[in-house]
Copies of this chain bind each other. A is one copy, B any other.
Amino acid sequence: MLKGKVLVAQGGGPTAVINESLVGVVNEARKDPGVDRVYGARYGVSGIINEEFIDLTQETTDNLERVAKTPCSALGSTRDKPDRPYIQEILKVLKAHDIQTFIYIGGNDSSATLSLIGHEAQAQNISLRCVHIPKTIDNDLVINDHTPGYPSAARFVANAFAGVNLDNQALPGAYVGVVMGRHAGFLTAASTLARQEADDGPHLIYIPERKFDMSDFLTKFKQTYDRLGRCVAAVSEGIRDSDGHLLATQGRAVETDDHGNVQLSGTGGLADQLTAAIKRELKIERVRGDTFGYLQRSFVGCVSDIDQREAREVGEKAVQCARWEKQDGSITIRRTGNYSVAYDISPLDAVAGKTRYMPDEFISVSGTDVTEKFYLYLRPLLGSQMPDFAKLRRNEVAKVL
């Protein structure tokens, strides 16, 4: 049995299934007769120091189930990076409310925050169980086979590229789509799952794991355009040139959050930069660029059922970890088959603040495509009922003139 109150909070960027994890926590915690109350902190850790709690014990099961199916952090989120006084303030508030279990749903930064809180609680001899639940569309948490939120965002990106490829076939030209992912190329690489036939786009992908060279990009782009009369490229917002500089921030004021993360989304700068280069250097007339922006992590109505299920399960597991295993940790996902997973409890510090990149075995030798291994990795995550599409067969009519 747990004791005192259980607190749950959500940190970092929202995902399509982050509320599944929230509801997994609430449902499981409410079963425990030892639990006094289940609270939710509004806006992540900032809601703790501001004492902004809502009592989730009073929420109806039916509404919780509807919230679970709703994208974006229902409790609100934060980008705050607590320093020592901030952490001490957190512990003061947790103690005042008799919160003895704190479950934080988030990515690298949130897990790092939780780790700091856990260490400080131990140092101060405060009884506080800390469990981290993974979530990030970037899929960049170490140890995890993949992270909840990524499969749904990947499904969005694959469906978006299936569409823009068909659009580009109907009105041929050059197209660049910029995808989120920060330091990791997983989400950009998901665009390749949109392809059906050999000449389908994206024809080129550019990920942060490989240096971006503008003249090489233009050369490859031209080769495809000359061959097919069109070219679709998927580009990560996080690509860097050979000096390690982010292309997305060139020529504009840089905005960073408390964790030092540079703002990459919310502007069309990178797509516009690349389409301008294509127009200028390759003299292609019809050049279009889209930046997928916030749609890819929040769109209502595009979600992977596998992702929903797993996000719910990691929420439940977090409470089980605290209740039955009586240990701090991060719930991690291990793939055990094609397709099946198991959940482990990993040490918080093994996950906290670390970044996972796309492994070489997922990236083609050219650096601008994926391997079959990546396809096999991602396909089951996209879930069931992926929208289908088809083309007319080319029963060509002989010319008479």
Contacts and interface: CB of A to CB of B under 8 A. Distances in A.
Given A288-B266, A290-B291, A77 B387 contact: no
A315 interface: no
A58 B194 CA distance: 27
B392 A300 contact: no
- Identify whether the interface residues of A are mostly helix, strand, loop, or mixed: loop
Most buried by B among A53, A255, A290: A290
Contacts of A164: 294-295, 298
Contacts of A71: 163, 166-167, 389
A390 B301 CA distance: 13
A167 B63 contact: no
B160 A295 contact: yes
Most buried by B among A78, A96, A300, A400: A300
A294 B70 contact: no
Contacts of A31: none
Most buried by B among A60, A70, A167, A170: A170
Interface in A243-264: 255
Interface in A275-290: 275, 285, 287-290
B55 A163 contact: no
Contact of A397 (B55, B67, B298): B55
Contacts of A294: 163-164, 167, 175, 288, 290
B54 A394 contact: yes
Interface in A144-179: 159-160, 162-164, 166-167, 169-172, 175
A113 B78 CA distance: 54
A121 interface: no
Number of copies of chain A assembled together: 2
A382 B169 CA distance: 27
A387 B295 contact: no
B266 A289 contact: yes
B293 A77 contact: no
A338 B289 CA distance: 39
A218 to B, nearest CB: 18
A393 interface: yes
Contact of A390 (B63, B266, B390): B63
A25 interface: no
Contacts of A388: 66, 69-70
Nearest to A175: B294
A392 B59 contact: yes
A388 to B, nearest CB: 7
6 contacts: A69-B389, A70-B388, A71-B166, A96-B400, A163-B295, A267-B268
